[in-house]
Amino acid sequence: MDNNCIFCKIAKGEIPSPVVYEDDKFFGFLDMSPVTKGHSLLIPKEHHVWIHETSDEILSKILIIAKKIINNMRNNLKCDYVQISIVGTEVPHFHIHLIPRHFGDGLPQFEKIKYESDLEKKEIASKIKNAL
């Protein structure tokens, strides 16, 4: 854990936050600045800044836990679906946003962009694919 990380402090109980999930490796809590009621964050207790720095084991387990929380949200909050967001810029600790949503709730969607050409699309796809 990082003693200066707000999410590590929340996971240790130093900063109170309503808990939605906890085990020995993961911690889920209500977001302090929610966009919907029930908006939660799920984090590994072990400090990782970015998703690409996180082990495959932690990534696979956190997604399985996220799925359980999503099912509980859908059943108990009566939402239509749960939006998952992994942005990582607000707090330097890998986290997953779980946002209960309703169809037509008016929350913003991603803005769309346009590629300049099919050639540009192919070049970008190739850069991503070739790096794998």
Q: What secondary structure, in 3-state letters, does the chain show?
A: CCCCCHHHHHHCCCCCCCEEEECCCEEEEECCCCCCCCCEEEEECCCCCCHHHCCHHHHHHHHHHHHHHHHHHHHHCCCCEEEEECCCCCCCCCCEEEEEECCCCCCCCCCCCCCCCHHHHHHHHHHHHHHC
CATH of the domain at 93: 3.30.428.10
How confident is the prediction along the chain (132 residues), in pLDDT tens digits per residue?
A: 788 999 999 999 999 999 999 999 999 999 999 999 999 999 999 999 999 999 999 999 999 999 999 999 999 999 999 999 998 788 999 999 999 999 999 988 777 889 999 999 999 999 888 867
19/61 Cα distance (integer angstroms): 18
| Token pair recorded at residue 132 | 């794998």
- 46, part of any domain: yes
**Residue 81 belongs to what domain range?**
6-131
Residue 66, domain member (yes or no): yes
Tell me whether residue 47 is one of the annotated catalytic residues.
Answer: no
In a domain, 118, yes or no: yes
Catalytic residue among 39, 48, 93, 95: 95
**Structure-token pair, residue 84:** 């998952």
Q: Write out the two tokens for 125.
A: 């796809």
Into how many domains does the chain fold? Answer: 1
Residue 1 within a domain: no
